Homo-oligomer: A and B are copies of this chain.
Amino acid sequence: MSDEPFVVRPIGWVESPLIDLADAPKQGDEGAPDAWIVIDPAFRPALHGLDAGAEVIVLTWLDRADRSALATRPRDDPSRSLSGVFATRSPHRPNPIGLHTVTILAVDDTRMLVRNLEALDGTPVIDIKPTLGPTESR
């Protein structure tokens, strides 16, 4: 294992009508509005092959998270018992990486309109990956 720190560089950011944490759904398929993923033009060649209709995984950096949290109550429900954060999707975790499965609705150069993204406006995007279909289509 290298001793260098692992530094993540933003590749873009989210443009969304979701401004306030209180308005955000817990998961993207629970009522998130359509949002734009805006990629830094320096990474344009890395987008080749991402087209409307594709389902992709978007990784974000949840920069408002509490990285010291190790346990939480799922879905902020005080009636539920504490779970370790690795057994939840809480944004509050040692490495505040958000994972969102979204569908690309439209592509406009380095901007992509997506469905089911619950990240707040301005959230940094750090990676995009295709979901994996059956082995033979990879």
Contacts and interface: CB of A to CB of B under 8 A. Distances in A.
Interface of A: 1-2, 5-11, 13, 26-27, 29-30, 43, 45-50, 54, 56-57, 59, 61, 63, 70-71, 74-75, 82-89, 93-95, 97, 99, 122, 124, 126-130, 132, 135, 138
Contacts of A71: 45-46, 48
Q: How many copies does the complex hold?
A: 2
A8 B6 CA distance: 5
Given A87-B130, A130-B87, A97 B48 contact: no
A43 B70 contact: yes
Nearest to A89: B129
Contact of A83 (B43, B49, B94, B128): B49
Given A10-B1, A138-B75, A45 B93 contact: no
